[in-house]
Amino acid sequence: MAGDTPERDIPRRPPTPRWVKAIAIVALLIFILVLVVGLLGGMSHGPGMHGG
Amino acid sequence: MILHTSARKFVLAVHLTTSVAWLGAVAAYVPLDLTVATSSDPTTVRGAWTAMGLIATSILVPLALASLITGILISVGTRWGLIRHWWVVVSLVLTVLAVTVLMVERGVITASAAIATAAATMPEQLLALPPTLPHSIGGLAILLVVQWLNVYKPQGLTPYGWRRQEEERARLQARSWARIVATAETDET
């Protein structure tokens, strides 16, 4: 129909950049690692840790 | 709210100064933390904790807060915006994370430094104080990533940024068309 914009002319939002996804994945892995270490070793830290 | 040129330059100068100084202060803190982790000399460890306590409270915290606040100001006050570009969003998230961890750790550091400097603390207790290495090295890594992002400014618009760009493009296009039509009508008459 007249006036319809062809699909190829409709601007499409570019995808999320790869570097953003890479940083998000690294951050998630570090978070999981910290969680696992914290659960295995106990979450407390600071001067009281060694009963000092 | 676009900042005037002189105001923008001032805020940018403060932001650059405090951000780089924060990075430098953390870089100075890390060897002290390593000393606490590896040294078996109580006098050395006591000195390291004293310095770490001073650096954390007098330098790291003020610089971190100033860097975060001026970073937000410079984003909001320029066309970069706070949530239009991925490099700004990721920098903001990482900076907020670093500041939050620092504010929590400050209590731990000052408590350990107080114990270390107390005359009644025995050498065994002093050497048993746990270092803050994961936080200091992690913080240094985060700040290096933020600095890399701020220098290279990798491309990428957020969904909000892309929508704003399209709206501005449509607005400019409409204005151009209106000018062309007005010019054509003027020529006809």
- The confidence score (pLDDT) of residue A4 equals 56
What is the rounded distance in angstroms from the CA atom of residue B161 to the CA atom of residue B186? 37
Three-class DSSP category at A2: coil
- Angle between helical axes of B5-38 and B133-152 (0-180°, round to 10): 150
Contact B156 A20 (CB under 8 A): yes
- The confidence score (pLDDT) of residue A5 equals 55
pTM of the model: 0.85
Predicted confidence (pLDDT) per residue in B78-128, tens digit: 989 999 999 999 999 999 999 999 999 999 999 999 999 998 989 999 999
Q: ipTM score here?
A: 0.77
Out of A13, A20, A49, name the one closest to residue B90 (CB): A20
| B115: chain A residues, CB-CB within 8 Å | 47, 52
- The confidence score (pLDDT) of residue B181 equals 87
- The confidence score (pLDDT) of residue A50 equals 44
- The confidence score (pLDDT) of residue A52 equals 38
| B49: chain A residues, CB-CB within 8 Å | none
User: What proportion of chain B, given as a percentage, has pLDDT over 90?
Assistant: 85
- Residue A4 distance to chain B (closest CA, Å): 17
Non-local (6+) Cβ contacts of B71 within 8 A are B15, B19, B91, B92, B95
- The confidence score (pLDDT) of residue A6 equals 59
Average confidence (pLDDT) over A2-16: 67
Question: Which amino acid is it at B46?
Answer: R
- The confidence score (pLDDT) of residue A19 equals 94
Spans in chain B with pLDDT lower than 70: none
**A-chain residue closest to B145, CA distance:** A23
What is the rounded distance in angstroms from the CA atom of residue B22 to the CA atom of residue A25? 26
Average per-residue pLDDT in chain A? 75
Three-class DSSP category at B78: coil
Half-sphere exposure of A39 (CA within 13 A, CB side): 6
- The confidence score (pLDDT) of residue A17 equals 94
Predicted confidence (pLDDT) per residue in A28-48, tens digit: 999 898 889 888 876 556 665
